[in-house]
Amino acid sequence: MSGHIDIRTLSDYFLNRLTSEEETAVQEHLSVCPECRARLEAMRRLRRGMFGEEESSMERRPVFFRILRSGWTKAAAAVILICGIGIFTYDTVRNRSNVVEQHQIQNARDIENEVFAIDTFDTEDSLYYQEKYGDDFLHTR
Amino acid sequence: MGRSIEKDALELLTKENERYRLERLGLFRSVREEAAALASEYPPLEGESFFDWKTRCLREFYRKKGFSAFCRNNVRNPQFEAVTASILKLHLRRLFESSERTETDRYLAPDSDTLSYALEPEHFQELYTLNFSRMPSFGNTRELESFCRRLAADNFPVDEPRIIDGMKGNKGFYWEKFYLKLKPITAAFCYQMSGLAGDNNIHDIWSDTCISVNRAVVERRLKEPVDSKAVISYSVGVLKNKNKEIARSRAKAPTDIDLIQYKLTAEDEEKYFNNPVTKPENFPSHAGNLSSYIDFSDKDSVQGYFVVILYNKEHPLHDELVKGYEDKVQRMFEHYIDGLSYEEIVARHFGDMEGKELVKECARVRQEIKRLKTSLYDRYRKMIEKYR
């Protein structure tokens, strides 16, 4: 085998898809070619990184972590989460209705104040302002 | 560059372990330890070729390990069965690729796939019970390999009646492949008869046809004796009928639409089988032909192919897999392949940091890689479905 192993053949070697003769030819090349060996090793490392660690670490995990990862724990967490969301939503809705009520009261007060203000500007006030600013007062209004 | 016997021995045993899952089966505990011992005990002889050295090394290795007794003790071990099945599948794939296409495959299997050379689980169990229950004496893996090769040659291609019986018995293994076969044929009929094109448009017709054909075969409504041609003929009939209805409802029916035969004719065969129209470019089911590379029932095979797509930038599916994640994939490679620590990755990509800031950034990179693994694998799963 001259040059380097093409990536397709190297992939087939990695996937155990070569015949034993082809496999031996690849191994013979690998024994003298550090570059191809490095590429093959890269695929193996990637596989260990992607799948190996996860499986072995899962096996080694202490009981506490297994409890944390168990279905019951997840179910309990889901129930707590749903309750939390429920309480939060209820509070928010209640607060929101309070806010709406308060807003309505405030609006009513504003209107009331407005009405009150108009009502309070009576004839006596007109006379007072007329005296103070003269007839121009009537025009400025 | 000179050879290193230690590295060569390590490669031999690593490959043996990958192929036959020896560590998992319990033949040995550590490839590295075994390789070191092998290298010191069996260095190449003067003038010995690589092939001869490998043969001698492995023969002695398996003899010392008592491979023959090990196989006998593991005959009921599901892991050993799985290894045997994977070796058989490999030889079947080679047989399939070097043989002429059978009539059964022509009518029932997708273009690049096979039913005649496929290892249906129950069939495997029969073969295993018959041939492995009194475990033959295998001195090493090469002998096991030869035995499986002979087994494949003697028992395949599978007879047509066996496959038809499997379909009558509603075996998903056969039906899944046949449904895939029907997809491009449905596309061809729709395209030519009712003008429908595209995967989404034909999906309902395809699934209706699958259900109709399945019922007809499983409920034994086809005239006996049923063969593969009868199954495909019935399917074509259903497809024609459905397309006739569509053409009528669109009021664009050609005048001779009622003359369409409810049978597969020679003209049909020319027109609809192995026709470019049966493989429109945007029709994804056969684009990647993953089924010819991946053994979907074997986790190692599925994971291995994922790594190949991810690592090999020239692979036709690489871009689809990593699209949008290129920078993150680069950082993941630096961590897993180059062996850089999270601190080194942070220093390389985000400049010098110290104290809490560095810790925070490292945690972010770690989290990023962890999430990326999940995202890539999810994407790969979807691609498998798409290109299966």
pLDDT digits (tens, 9 = 90+) for B276-295: 444 433 333 333 456 666 77
Q: Would you place residue B261 in the very low, low, confident or very high pLDDT band (cuts 50, 70, 90)? A: very low
- Residue B299: what pLDDT? 85
Which has the closest alpha carbon to B289: B148, B104, B93? Answer: B93
Percentage of residues in chain B having pLDDT higher than 70? 86
Burial label for B97, CB within 10 Å (0-12, 13-18, 19+), is: exposed
Contact residues on chain A for B337, CB-CB shorter than 8 A? 42, 45-46, 49
CB A40 within 8 A of CB A10: yes
Interface test with B, best of A13, A30, A51 (most B CBs within 10 A): A51
Alpha carbon of B180: minimum distance to chain A alpha carbons (Å): 24
How many whole angstroms from its chain centre is CA B29?
29
Q: What is the mean pLDDT of residues A62-76?
A: 63
For chain B, the average pLDDT equals: 85
Q: For chain A, how many structural domains are there in total?
A: 2
- Residue B280: what pLDDT? 35
Examine the domain organization and report whether A23 and A82 are in the same domain.
no
Q: What is the CA radius of gyration of chain A?
A: 42
Q: Where are the alpha helices (DSSP H) in chain B?
A: 5-20, 22-25, 31-41, 50-65, 67-73, 78-98, 103-108, 121-132, 141-155, 160-168, 172-189, 199-218, 228-249, 266-272, 299-311, 318-322, 326-336, 342-350, 355-387
Examine the domain organization and report whether A55 and A77 are in the same domain.
no
Examine the domain organization and report whether A75 and A52 are in the same domain.
no
Please tell me whether the peptide bond between B316 and the residue prior to it is cis, using omega within 30 degrees of 0.
no
Task: Check CB contact under 8 Å for B1 and A32.
Answer: yes
Report yes or no on A65 lying in a domain: no
Most confident of A27-41, A80-94, B135-149: A27-41
A59 touches chain B (CB under 8 A): no
Examine the domain organization and report whether A91 and A134 are in the same domain.
yes
> What is the rounded distance in angstroms from the CA atom of residue A5 to the CA atom of residue B295?
24
Examine the domain organization and report whether A89 and A134 are in the same domain.
yes
Examine the domain organization and report whether A80 and A44 are in the same domain.
no
Examine the domain organization and report whether A46 and A84 are in the same domain.
no
Rounded to two decimals, the ipTM of the complex is: 0.81
Q: CA end-to-end span of chain A, whole Å? A: 105
Domain ranges of chain B: 5-65, 78-158, 163-286, 291-387
Examine the domain organization and report whether A35 and A87 are in the same domain.
no
> Does B386 have pLDDT greater than 90?
no
> Does B242 have pLDDT greater than 90?
no
- Residue A61: what pLDDT? 47
Q: Would you place residue B355 in the very low, low, confident or very high pLDDT band (cuts 50, 70, 90)? A: confident
- Residue A92: what pLDDT? 66
Among B90, B94, B337, beta carbon nearest to A42? B337
- Residue A73: what pLDDT? 74
Which has the closest alpha carbon to B36: B66, B4, B59? Answer: B4
Structure tokens at B142: 């090469």
- Residue B258: what pLDDT? 52
- For B9, the closest chain A residue by CA position comes to A31
> Does B268 have pLDDT greater than 90?
no
Interface test with B, best of A1, A11, A21 (most B CBs within 10 A): A11
> What is the rounded distance in angstroms from the CA atom of residue A56 to the CA atom of residue A49?
11
> From chain B, which residues contact A within 8 Å (Cβ)?
1-4, 7-8, 11-12, 14-15, 18-19, 50-51, 54, 86, 90, 94, 142, 145, 293, 301, 303-308, 310-312, 314-315, 332-333, 335-337, 339, 373, 377
Most confident of A68-77, B115-124, B291-300: B115-124
CB B283 within 8 A of CB B184: yes
Contact residues on chain A for B50, CB-CB shorter than 8 A? 24, 27-28, 31
Of B54-68, B177-191, B296-310, the poorest mean pLDDT is in: B177-191
> Does B39 have pLDDT greater than 90?
yes
Name the residue range of residue A23's domain: 1-60
> What is the rounded distance in angstroms from the CA atom of residue B362 to the CA atom of residue B364?
5
Q: How many A-B residue pairs are in contact by the CB < 8 A criterion?
A: 83
Q: What is the mean pLDDT of residues A47-58?
A: 66
Which has the closest alpha carbon to A27: B18, B268, B169, B135? Answer: B18
Examine the domain organization and report whether A53 and A75 are in the same domain.
no
Q: What is the mean pLDDT of residues B290-308?
A: 82
Contact residues on chain B for A19, CB-CB shorter than 8 A? 94
A35 touches chain B (CB under 8 A): no
pTM, two decimals, is: 0.71
- Residue B248: what pLDDT? 74
What are residue B192's phi and psi, to 5 degrees?
-85, -30
Q: What is the mean pLDDT of residues B63-92?
A: 91
Exposure string of A97-135, with b = 16+ CB inside 10 Å and e = fewer, is eeeeeeeeeeeeeeeeeeeeeeeeeeeeeeeeeeeeeee
> What is the rounded distance in angstroms from the CA atom of residue B372 to the CA atom of residue B190?
40
Report yes or no on A66 lying in a domain: no
- Residue A60: what pLDDT? 45
Contact residues on chain A for B342, CB-CB shorter than 8 A? none
- Residue A107: what pLDDT? 61
Task: Check CB contact under 8 Å for B310 and A46.
Answer: yes
Task: Check CB contact under 8 Å for B50 and A47.
Answer: no
Q: Which residue has tokens 């009868």?
A: B230
A138 touches chain B (CB under 8 A): no
Q: What is the CA radius of gyration of chain B?
A: 27
Please tell me whether the peptide bond between B136 and the residue prior to it is cis, using omega within 30 degrees of 0.
no
Among A16, A34, A49, beta carbon nearest to B18? A16
Q: What is the mean pLDDT of residues B17-39?
A: 92
Examine the domain organization and report whether A53 and A20 are in the same domain.
yes
CA angle B107, B193, B175 (to 5 degrees): 30
Of A127-141, B170-184, B240-254, B267-281, the poorest mean pLDDT is in: B267-281
- Residue A64: what pLDDT? 53
Alpha carbon of A63: minimum distance to chain B alpha carbons (Å): 22
Examine the domain organization and report whether A41 and A88 are in the same domain.
no
Examine the domain organization and report whether A78 and A54 are in the same domain.
no
Which helix (H) or strand (E) segment holds residue B43: the answer is none
